[in-house]
A and B are shown apart, each in its own frame.
Chain A
Amino acid sequence: MEQKLKTDFDKIISTSNFSNQEIKLKKEALDNFLKNGFPSRKLENWKFSDINQIIQKNIGELAFYNDYNIENEINDDIFINDIEHNKIVIVNGKVERLSFEYEEKDKINLSTLDNFNQNSNDDNSLLSLNNSFSNKIHNILVKKNYSFKKPLIIYQITNEKVSNTNINFQLNFELEENSSIKIINLTDDNSEKNFINNLFNFNLSKNAILKNYKIDKKSNTNIKYDYSSITQKENSISETFIFSSGSEYIKNEVSCNLEGQYSSAFINGIHLLSKNKHHEIRTKTNHLYENTKSYQLIKSVIDDSSKSVYQGKIYVDSKAQKTDGYQLSKALLLNEQTEFNAKPELEIYADDVKCSHGSSSGSLDEDSIFYLMSRGLDQKTAKELLINGFLLDVVEKITDEEIKKLLKQMIGLN
């Protein structure tokens, strides 16, 4: 693999148009990845989902070369017609279209980053992999006091031209003071057996608001890793919603650094799994300043022989007095072959805090089914109703009404 990585890396560098600074950073990142390789279960964070093994088993030999010069066609049929929105269209890891037609042009600044954050994390070599192979990183800056009028939908498409390939993609958002943005991240996979590695960085200044909704619905055989890193200053709010259902394997990781007082982070997620899928959500909220708040609600419905994992960590620094942290994960196991693993973790160094977590897993409540059936529903409908209600709890947490309606429709919950 090492040789393959090196040759593919050289190929990308020679065919693309990177600056010297970028090439230097990319080389460093590659070295770091070569040193660590794909994470395996030996690392605590990957205990429940050994991505090295999963790639070996499902894909086998990976190619790392990705031709960033190809112009990919975009099929307009995939766009959502129900709401007016701005678009970013990404095909096979390359940004093909950026359109902000509903926004004031002078309030947004689009650029590419020359000097990206190395994010070198020994625990997470996938970030290094991303840094070394991703294309130029687009940066979207929302200027002071500007709120997006319409949501931004990021269409992440893969087409049948790629297979057994590692696709790396990275995107950056800067939210200046008092700004706000709503993002829907939609995936549309028409490819098979690729390893897709995404990295999103969000920087929230004072009073900024980020709403980020990630939807993975279309059934596909790709393996995905999706990392969102959110840094928050005073009084900022971030809301992340994850619907994870379609891909063969996906690990969604959200890391929030609450650096300013009164900042708050909300992460809600749904796993709706069937067949042989294996999905994981890992959240890490770092309370680094006084009076910060975080809330996580994750619900899993697991059928056939699928597997759901939730790892959540609340970290409270000794400075972060008056922290309020809450975390709840619930799982419904519908079939004997299913599996649910959880590791809700608290690491606390300040005394004046209120932190708690809860986790429960089990089958559908027989009494509730009996109750509904005694009211005339057949067993299947009764079960569906209960599962629906179970998941709606999470969807109802979405604060944007328009998007909530759209997502309910999309997911099929009413």
Chain B
Amino acid sequence: MRDKQIEDLKDYKYGFSTDIESFKAPKGLNEEVIRFISNIKKEPDWLLQWRLKAFERLKVLKEPNWQKPKYPKIDYQDLYYYSAPKSFKEKPKNLEDLDPKLLETYKKLGIPLQEQKRLNGIAVDAVFDSVSVATTFKDTLTEKGIIFCSISEAIQKHPDLVKKYLGSVIPITDHFFATLNSAVFTDGSFVYIPPNVKCPMELSTYFRINASDTGQFERTLIIADKGSYVSYLEGCTAPMRDENQLHAANVELIALDDAEIKYSTVQNWYPGDKDGKGGIYNFVTKRGLCKGKNSKISWTQVETGSAITWKYPSCILKGDNSIGEFYSIAITNNHQKADTGTKMIHLGKNTKSKIISKGISAGKSDMTYRGLVDISKNASNSTNYTQCDSLLMGNKCGAHTVPYIKNKNSNSNIAHEATTSKISEDQLHYCQQRGLNQEEAVGLIVNGFCKEVLQQLPMEFAVEAQKLVGISLEGSVG
């Protein structure tokens, strides 16, 4: 019985694809496509100009190539930059109007879109290929003055906020993939928490890539005004396909005075099959700006999916006394590759940052932690603590640690620790002696290894993540 369960779990259970007619922009990357996207989304002219400016910049940029996992050249002209379910030409007013097939898809994924089936009161914004399909719990949030909607809607309804903050953390002149996103982004979530409001529930976005040959370029913008608090969750899946699909999202967080943003990700994009065929290229730019005094941004990520993960959720600690945190679990198995970590840039006085990174590699996978801690001249009394631990399972995988440490302030302290080891024979022996089989024992030990990070996740996510950790490693021991 248990064997059968394991057998079921081994497969990527989100690998189905939904047979739904989609409406796409012409293939290729050019000005027309950008105009097409902007037009179909009825965007104001300033945004179109902004996109075109990014596109101009993109023409001179080169793809970065310093990362560890190399990938075949991506033909940017052979991709669809916009894909939406056909029934979406006019965005449905409410859930009843949604294509039942879509509802079915999200039901399969375990995402509650119908509010009556609500689960612990999490407000969800679901993004399917290029468009946001539904946002739940709008009324409760509106009462508090919280804006939680798709970014397309925000562009229409709250243009001032979007115009003020869009691109303020990740400018259009940033690196290749961020600029690509600025030029062609299609949808994503927008959150604004007004001053002194504690968001009463977890906000969540669920991303799903369905159509083939499609790149997903979503853009998320979260603004926490003075004294506010928000916890935001993000989940992702994609169908199993033989070709590699590109996912290049931009996420911008802005925390004003005394505000706190907690951003959690459980990334479970399709990782490709056992032989490393297919899977998502997850090249995401995530950056948070602690703009105000005493602000705090905390990133938590559980990275189990994607053929290649390449991302560094970062914090720019600009406000005095601001805090940046990064908690990460990255698991790679089979032929997966990950190059992930964080950047903590200390600009303000008395700023603090903490980095806890746990990497587990198994099979023939390769994992790199790459991080930067930069304390500038003016950031007096700043501290950083970094800990990155890696666990190796088998001798065909690799685990690497590449931290960059820059200290330009004599009143600031940086401490960095890293270890790499395997699961100790003693621990395994002890667990097995108590009646656990090898796989259960490994699961238990790995969960313990990850505990520090898992604890940072909101409850519902923590449970899911814990399971995911177990599943990702099935079959990698013994």
- B417 to A358, Cβ gap below 8 A? yes
- A356 to B419, Cβ gap below 8 A? yes
- B405 to A359, Cβ gap below 8 A? yes
> Measured between alpha carbons, how far is A354 from B403 in the docked complex, in Å?
18
Residue of A44, A342, A351 near B395 (CB, 8 A) is A351
User: Do A350 and B392 contact each other (CB < 8 Å), given the known contacts A359-B414, A360-B415?
Assistant: yes
Is A37 at the interface (CB under 8 A from chain B)?
Answer: no
- B392 to A357, Cβ gap below 8 A? no
Kindly supply a per-residue 1/0 record for chain B positions 395-409, scoring 1 wherever the CB is within 8 Å of any chain A CB and 0 otherwise: 111111111111111
> Measured between alpha carbons, how far is A335 from B407 in the docked complex, in Å?
12
> Measured between alpha carbons, how far is A361 from B383 in the docked complex, in Å?
10
Chain A residues near B321: list those with CB within 8 A.
none
- A341 to B420, Cβ gap below 8 A? no
> Measured between alpha carbons, how far is A188 from B404 in the docked complex, in Å?
34
Is A104 at the interface (CB under 8 A from chain B)?
Answer: no
- B414 to A360, Cβ gap below 8 A? yes
Chain A residues near B409: list those with CB within 8 A.
333, 336
- B416 to A349, Cβ gap below 8 A? no
Is B2 at the interface (CB under 8 A from chain A)?
Answer: no
Is B421 at the interface (CB under 8 A from chain A)?
Answer: yes
Is A391 at the interface (CB under 8 A from chain B)?
Answer: no
User: Do A343 and B420 contact each other (CB < 8 Å), given the known contacts A336-B377, A351-B392?
Assistant: no
> Measured between alpha carbons, how far is A331 from B400 in the docked complex, in Å?
24
- B410 to A335, Cβ gap below 8 A? yes
State the Cβ distance, A340 to closest chain B Cβ, in Å. 5
**From A334, A336, A345, A362, residue with most partner B Cβ within 10 Å:** A362
- A362 to B412, Cβ gap below 8 A? yes
**From B390, B409, B410, residue with most partner A Cβ within 10 Å:** B410
- A343 to B402, Cβ gap below 8 A? yes
- B411 to A363, Cβ gap below 8 A? yes
Interface size on B, residues (CB 8 A): 34
Chain A residues near B397: list those with CB within 8 A.
349, 351
> Measured between alpha carbons, how far is A331 from B407 in the docked complex, in Å?
10
State the Cβ distance, B351 to closest chain A Cβ, in Å. 14
User: Do A346 and B420 contact each other (CB < 8 Å), given the known contacts A336-B377, A359-B414, A363-B413?
Assistant: yes
> Measured between alpha carbons, how far is A347 from B361 in the docked complex, in Å?
13
- B396 to A354, Cβ gap below 8 A? no
- A343 to B405, Cβ gap below 8 A? yes
Chain A residues near B413: list those with CB within 8 A.
360-363
User: Do A348 and B418 contact each other (CB < 8 Å), given the known contacts A333-B410, A361-B405?
Assistant: no
Kindly supply a per-residue 1/0 record for chain B positions 407-438, scoring 1 wherever the CB is within 8 Å of any chain A CB and 0 otherwise: 11111111111111110000000000000000
**From A340, A342, A346, A351, residue with most partner B Cβ within 10 Å:** A351
A contact residues, range: 20 to 34
Chain A residues near B390: list those with CB within 8 A.
346, 348
> Measured between alpha carbons, how far is A98 from B478 in the docked complex, in Å?
60
User: Do A347 and B377 contact each other (CB < 8 Å), given the known contacts A339-B407, A360-B416, A361-B413?
Assistant: no
Closest to A345 in B: B402
Is A355 at the interface (CB under 8 A from chain B)?
Answer: yes
Kindly supply a per-residue 1/0 record for chain B positions 200-217, scoring 1 wherever the CB is within 8 Å of any chain A CB and 0 otherwise: 000000000000000000
Is A338 at the interface (CB under 8 A from chain B)?
Answer: yes
User: Do A353 and B420 contact each other (CB < 8 Å), given the known contacts A333-B410, A348-B390, A348-B398?
Assistant: yes
Residue of B402, B414, B422 near A362 (CB, 8 A) is B414
State the Cβ distance, A352 to closest chain B Cβ, in Å. 6
> Measured between alpha carbons, how far is A349 from B393 in the docked complex, in Å?
10
Chain A residues near B407: list those with CB within 8 A.
331, 333, 339-341, 361-362
Number of A-B contacts (CB under 8 A): 115
Chain B residues near A362: list those with CB within 8 A.
407, 410-414
Is B171 at the interface (CB under 8 A from chain A)?
Answer: no
- A351 to B394, Cβ gap below 8 A? yes
Chain B residues near A344: list those with CB within 8 A.
401, 403, 405, 416, 418
Residue of A334, A343, A345, A348 near B410 (CB, 8 A) is A334
Is B66 at the interface (CB under 8 A from chain A)?
Answer: yes
- A361 to B400, Cβ gap below 8 A? no
- A347 to B400, Cβ gap below 8 A? yes
State the Cβ distance, B180 to closest chain A Cβ, in Å. 23
| Contact residues, B31-65 vs A (CB, 8 A) | none
Chain A residues near B396: list those with CB within 8 A.
318
Residue of A335, A341, A353 near B392 (CB, 8 A) is A353
Chain A residues near B400: list those with CB within 8 A.
345-348
- A349 to B412, Cβ gap below 8 A? no
| Contact residues, A357-397 vs B (CB, 8 A) | 357-363
Chain B residues near A355: list those with CB within 8 A.
419-421
Chain A residues near B415: list those with CB within 8 A.
358-360
State the Cβ distance, B59 to closest chain A Cβ, in Å. 22
> Measured between alpha carbons, how far is A352 from B412 in the docked complex, in Å?
36
Closest to B416 in A: A359
Is A125 at the interface (CB under 8 A from chain B)?
Answer: no
Chain B residues near A359: list those with CB within 8 A.
403, 405, 414-416
Residue of B393, B411, B412, B418 near A346 (CB, 8 A) is B418
Chain A residues near B408: list those with CB within 8 A.
338-339
Chain A residues near B392: list those with CB within 8 A.
348, 350-351, 353
State the Cβ distance, A176 to closest chain B Cβ, in Å. 33
Is A321 at the interface (CB under 8 A from chain B)?
Answer: yes
Kindly supply a per-residue 1/0 record for chain B positions 440-458, scoring 1 wherever the CB is within 8 Å of any chain A CB and 0 otherwise: 0000000000000000000
> Measured between alpha carbons, how far is A361 from B410 in the docked complex, in Å?
9
Closest 5 pairs (CB-CB, A-B): A362-B413, A333-B410, A351-B392, A356-B419, A342-B405
CB pairs A–B below 8 angstroms (25 shown): A333-B409, A333-B410, A335-B410, A340-B405, A341-B405, A341-B406, A344-B405, A345-B400, A345-B401, A346-B399, A346-B401, A346-B418, A348-B398, A349-B398, A350-B395, A353-B392, A353-B420, A354-B421, A357-B416, A357-B418, A360-B414, A360-B416, A362-B412, A362-B413, A363-B412
Known interface pairs A335-B410, A346-B390; 8 further A-B residue pairs with C-beta atoms within 8 A, sorted by A's residue number:
A333-B410, A339-B407, A341-B406, A342-B404, A344-B418, A349-B398, A355-B421, A362-B412
